[in-house]
A and B are shown apart, each in its own frame.
Chain A
């Protein structure tokens, strides 16, 4: 039995609960390797992985790239500006071109949800979703789960608030169903304009007032507010959003549970969804998440590109 049964990782639902826990366990081992002076392993020698990032990305792409390099895979990077898509090549032609190059895995990011499914339909390579539109971002979810699991030693039974622009968030789109499936309680906390159309489909409850639910939360996951497209359209002003939904020291010290943690997928807008004082607090684990990201992606690639998991 392969250690991850699904050929592709496009939605977090491609993984069973057992597989998610296996990724988290293995990621703990890879995290230790990332602390060594020599961080390179020969594990994926001779495997070729393409990072096809047709939407801007700093941390996800560099995190995948580091994970690939540390496992000794050969990797190639394509960004929107360096690929033929700017010359008008269709998604399908891009997929078939890469397939003809005989690559083992494609890590893809695109502004359209479903892009990875198009790749999967037209390629032999295994596809890992690096974030597609407002759909899903499964490796972000795995690193969020890892950070939560490492801190609490469990996921089941925890209440996790996801605060911000849920509607446009692929982070929420992956994390909420995973949490629900693992027995945690995800709550979307946002003004109505930011709430998804059918939150129950993602397994989440809905709340409109942060201060009411904050005392119940074990994890506060803050999403990035995209200022340029938010102001005037979804919220009257960023200052109002910040006053009602931003995490500040008053909320953190007076309303939040003492042993709760704060997460953020990055990049952060200081002063909008989170203040500098909160970022400096030890309960804010954003850098732990970045650290976990490399380890989790190493685990995913090892388990997807390795053979059957039946070694004694």
Chain B
């Protein structure tokens, strides 16, 4: 079944403007780019992290180190589902005494960020970790909040907030995808197929 797009939230320009504002806010809050490192969570946080770093380079004229982080091995649900293929984690700087700005596309339950915090701590002891996200859609299950937010998007739990970014996607935009009725709780209560066959319905 094709995804049903409920609403289009951001286009390419909106995303670009949000990331520029976030880049300014990061510099403002930290008094410049000194001692900063940007770390994106694969796969799309990674793209945003590089964009933010590029913006900071333009604004300040100084390069900040950029890293990528795969949190698969730190998830709290490894027993039920795992990533088929792991991505490489690459933090090309010393984490100790650095202010790490963690970047992801969507902030939802907060569990990914919890895993990312543990992953970064395994590399060293940063001065501080801050969080930047393109979209905050609510429904937190852990006491985690973002320091920099592109757009707050009220959503219902079953809906998907889908961020597409070039170059891994064909376009750059943010959309809400309606809840898939076959995946909802109601569907979970439905009779399994073999029972349907017995009743003949």
The chain A residues found within 8 Å of chain B, CB to CB, are: 3, 22, 25-26, 28-30, 32-33, 36, 38, 40-44, 71, 302-303, 305-311
Contacts and interface: CB of A to CB of B under 8 A. Distances in A.
Given A306-B79, A306-B81, A307-B79, A42 B74 contact: yes
Given A40-B122, A311-B72, A25 B79 contact: no
A303 B72 CA distance: 12
B119 to A, nearest CB: 9
Interface stretch (B31-39, B85-93, B145-153, B189-197): B85-93
5 contacts: A25-B86, A43-B74, A305-B78, A310-B81, A311-B72
A42 B79 CA distance: 12
A3 B82 contact: yes
Interface string B79-116: 11111111111000000000000000000000000000
B74 A307 contact: no
Nearest to A30: B86
B100 to A, nearest CB: 16
B123 interface: yes
A29 B82 contact: no
Contacts of A71: 73
Contacts of A36: 122-123
Most chain B CB atoms below 10 A, which of A38, A41, A305: A41
B118 interface: yes
Given A29-B88, A38-B123, A302-B73, A308 B78 contact: no
A25 B81 contact: no
A98 B154 CA distance: 51
A308 B80 contact: yes
Contacts, number: 66
Interface of B: 70, 72-75, 77-89, 118, 122-123
A309 B82 contact: yes
A303 B79 CA distance: 10
A309 B122 contact: no
Given A38-B123, A311-B84, 19 more contacts: A3-B82, A25-B86, A26-B86, A29-B89, A33-B89, A38-B122, A40-B122, A41-B73, A41-B122, A44-B78, A302-B78, A306-B82, A307-B77, A307-B79, A308-B80, A308-B81, A309-B81, A310-B81, A310-B84
Contacts of A311: 72, 75, 81-84
B80 A26 contact: no
A37 B84 CA distance: 26
Given A28-B88, A32-B89, A38-B122, A43 B73 contact: yes
B92 to A, nearest CB: 12
Nearest to A1: B84
Contacts of A38: 122-123
B39 to A, nearest CB: 15
Contact of B84 (A3, A41, A43): A3
Nearest to A38: B122
Nearest to B82: A306
The residue among B70, B83, B123 with the most chain A CB atoms within 10 A of its own CB is: B83
A136 to B, nearest CB: 25
A32 B67 CA distance: 14
Contact of B88 (A32, A41, A44, A305): A32
